[in-house]
Amino acid sequence: MNRVEIESVEIELLLQAITKRYGYDFHNYSKASLKRRIIGFLHKSNLEQISELIPRLLHDKGMFRSFLLSLSVTVTEMFRDPNVYVVLRERVIPFLKTFPFCKIWCAGCATGEEVYSIAILLSESGLLDKVQIYATDINDESLQKAELGIYSRTQIQEYTRNYQLTGLEGSFSDYYHASFDSVVMDASLKKNIVFANHNLVSDESFGKMQLILCRNTLIYFNSELQGRVFSLFSESLVNKGFLCLGTKEDIQFSSVSNKFRSIRQNEKLFQLR
């Protein structure tokens, strides 16, 4: 057995141990991405072999939480891909306005930048008070950051530029309060947001949604797991409800692709038939 083959065995044993001990099943995550993150955590922990991680993670819950954080992808920004928000404003907002009350699910919300972006879009559309937003992620530490809504002041210039590119007409500075080297998102944006731990692999939905956003999470899943999540989303949308994916993700080859029609392919906005 060469080194690569041994590492594959070690990773499989590690994943089995995590599933049995903590109930998290990472078997259907992208193997290349998973291996890269495991090796990164291994080096960070000053260990030499993947097999050394198994007893440490089984007996040290704090270390497992750190490990879980290393597997979760938390790279995000406010109004990421501004054209997506232009399309949401033009195509989805009019649909939401036909309901007396709406539910939106931001799945894999990471540290919350996208959630607050959606809240700002709803606020400027006059819809924030009649929408319940569910912001979910597998990572509790990321969720805590999202709920606090505290971000680095150095990022605000980029976020402001993204906001302006969406065509929204307010002032981005109205939605946060600066404090030293950080900014805090305004409390009015949080009042209808529920932050909750949710595992897309094993947990059920929160009911019927008018809009589901899951952007740049599914690229780390293999096709089998993506299909499972797409089925969950299709079951979680109201009739004619919308699904928004990341720009590198697509529902086209999934088992439920016939249930959706593409609204804007470049922005990966789909509508349940």
Q: Is 213 exposed, middle or buried (0-12, 13-18, 19+ CB in 10 A)?
A: buried
Position 100, amino acid: P
Q: What is the mean pLDDT of the chain?
A: 92
Domains of the chain in start order, with CATH, are 3-71 (no CATH), 82-272 (3.40.50.150)
Say which DSSP state 112 is in. Answer: S
Average pLDDT over residues 124-138: 96
What Å distances lie between residue 76 and 80, 108, 271, CA to CA? Answer: 7, 11, 24
* pLDDT at residue 108 in the model: 92
CA 188 to chain centre: 22
Asked whether the beta carbons of 221 and 194 are under 8 A apart, the reply is: no
pLDDT digits over 198-248, tens only? 988 888 888 999 999 999 888 878 888 888 899 999 999 999 999 999 988
What Å distances lie between residue 114 and 37, 111, 117, 121, 150, CA to CA? Answer: 23, 8, 5, 11, 13
Of the candidates 121, 126, 106, 125, the residue with the CA atom closest to the CA atom of residue 193: 106
Q: What percent of the chain has pLDDT over 70?
A: 99
